[in-house]
Structure 1
Amino acid sequence: MSDTHAQTVAFVRHTEIPPAPPPPGQTGAVKWMRENLFSGPFNTIMTLLGVYIVYTLVVGIFPWIANGVWGVDNIRECREITQGNGGACFAVIEQRWQQLLFGFEYPSSEYWRPTFAFVLLFVAVAPVLFLNLPRIMLAFTGIYPFLAYFLIWGGTILIPITALLGFVVGYFAFRRLERNSFAAGLFGAVAAALITWWVTGFLVQAAPNFLALPEVASRNMGGFMLNMILGTVCVSLSLPIGIALALGRQSHMPIIKWICVIFIEFIRGVPLITLLFVANVVLAYFFPPETSLDLILRVIIMITMFSSAYIAEVIRGGLAALPRGQYEAADSLGLDYAQATRLIIMPQALKISIPGIVNVAVGLFKDTTLVSVISMFDLVGMIRGPILSSTDWAGVYWELWAFASVLFFVVCYGISQYSQWLERKLQTGHR
């Protein structure tokens, strides 16, 4: 072929040219920093200011942690070692971590019991938090509250067994009578449970030491364990009570509606610390004179009432956000009030209310530290009381409060992250 003919033939590619890589400034960390940290003069100034603040904090805190002292017996030995280097006295945590977690008077030989109950808590809540787990695990979730009571408080195992038996009998009575009406099922369940507890109570009296663990009085409960007990129990109880109050407030029956309205508005208008004083001093007068109501139980009642009022308002907001067509769709399917609420209305309202419910739960867990004002030695009460008042560790503050902050942060951050994951999974946000 001649050179002239070769120059007149066009060249056609049969494959696509691979795309050229983008400029280095438009990918990776450089692109992210340009878009998020240095996108404008104001953002650039704020970024530099933030870097300066973080640098100042790190420079100030790092020596305090790096030069920390462990393995001494009192603050005087700490001060002798940390002369001039600004180190922390972490030895107080090493010496008193058991009291910070379990309280001052909980028997040290029984620490395995609340620890085991805490581990089982994750197994119990797993099928509730993650719906893809086998539903058979919900049976252990129902058993766990009674098992945890037996492990932490001790006594004969017949007490939690009889309590569980009453709930089981009440559940089957409800399912049997619910076919007639929801109210008949509810009253029948309560009656069946009360009769079961009355009959089986004689069995507990006849064998008080049957498969018993050493009893631990409630006044011996303390430390972070007490915060976990109050937070877990109160959040678990306040959610169904809050749902009932929210539905009652929207009821068309005037008596039920105004009872719920008065309860919610009164509780929301009273500080929690006032209710705790009521639980400590006044609540016992509402029970028969021969009744010795446990202080922890009284505190659980008051904190549950407080949090359920706030959860009721959060759920009421979720109910108000539902379009009217959802209620009309339930009516068109021929569902009664209980079926429509359980199958259509409440699942959607709870999805909308997830952020608010989690906010109340996190706030409630942190508010459990208020029990220290009524002489209950929770984590804060232990720090302010037996530990700081001792001559060995008088003057140690930041180390103990930092330890308490880490514990509460881990729990509250875990709750927050789970709620965000659940929101993404259920797609509660608007697109």
Structure 2
Amino acid sequence: MDVSTARRTILRRPAWDEIQVPDQVLDRNQALFGERLTPDEAVRRILADVRTRGDEALRAWTARLDGVEVPNPVVDGAAIQAAYDQVEPSVVDALRVAARRIEAFHRRQPALSWIHNDHEGTVGQLVRPIERVGVYIPGGTAPLPSSLLMTAIPARVAGVPHVAVITPPQRESGLPHPATLVAADIAGVDVVYAAGGAQAIGALAFGTESVRRVDKICGPGNLYVTLAKRQVFGLVGIDGLPGPTETVVIADEHANPELAAADLLAQAEHDILACAILLTPSRPLAEAVQAAVLHQMEELERSETIQGSLARGSGIVVTENLDQAFELANEYAPEHLCLLVADPWRHLEQVRHAGGVFLGEGSFEVLGDYVAGPSHVMPTGGTARFASPINVNDFVKIVSIVGLNAQALAAIGPAAATLAHAEGLTGHAAAVRRRLQDESPK
């Protein structure tokens, strides 16, 4: 498609209140609640119930929504250790490789306290870890143990004393997916809870008899999880409001169309709401990629999901040149930006908004999804304009230090009093004036 059409369609970011709720979602809520509630209204009901009834509500909603009876949401250590026997050794080894690289990457990130002393006294900052962090990990048909590593390990590196994981139970066992339990053990989390959906977010935010409340909730989830995080924000911190995953590939005439197609398909197989977009000034490449996508899709297991994604928010856009491709990418602010161009490093300065940049055909997004090192929990929905991937700074807070002396008071006190008067805060001004009148301020 051309640029004008793309800006009106696949590159347009609808606001939250512009998203149309599908009839099947409203129908399901009608069956569950006896009313045709919107997802936001349904989440509000669930959160209020968990806040009021605690474990009883958590168990009831887990049974009602997930069809699983979980008498105790706390997963015991024996069950976690037993999970190793249910996961292929090669998968366990791969999780350990990923964990080592994620930890090594985040240990390079500075998050340091500092103190400055001079003739006026001391100012500085204390960097302190958040006390308690809750990590939500989706379950279902595609569990995401890698997302657990990508979230819990940066929290551990930051020094968070207590990291909890909450993730949906499976119907067969009443326990979370074995690979998720193994990942939790490798990441060194303190406790794993078996619960999912909005009720899980409520349990972390409010606390129940079994689930200790946390100070911040992180991790991806479905629409109901995201809405629940939005509703509890303020009572607890959140990492953001993650939406469907997305990739923009910028490719020139030198790109390999088979590899470009593979990268687009890897993104599209996540979800029918996932977005996979190619921006290229080369029409021959665009046509070759389109043909390669159709051919490769036939070989993939999740072809039905891929078809849904490609039909909805994905596509190929032919631009006037590479500069225009970067302009469109910055407007879109993608979660992932893949540069399949002859000299990707030369174009890095043109990137202003992206969750992560992948430089060249050998440095592709799937490596970033698992083992490159940076967290794959990245800003979506255009929030890369102001947000960052999960990192150490998400799990610390800054405490300002002010320890000024009499010399500082004499120098800057009058300015403080003047500003206080200008704002009509005479009590503030009086607090300064009394100290200025005291010959020996403490």
More strand by share: 2
TM-score (norm 2): 0.29
TM-score (norm 1): 0.30
Greater RCO (Cα-Cα under 8 Å, separation 6 or more): 2
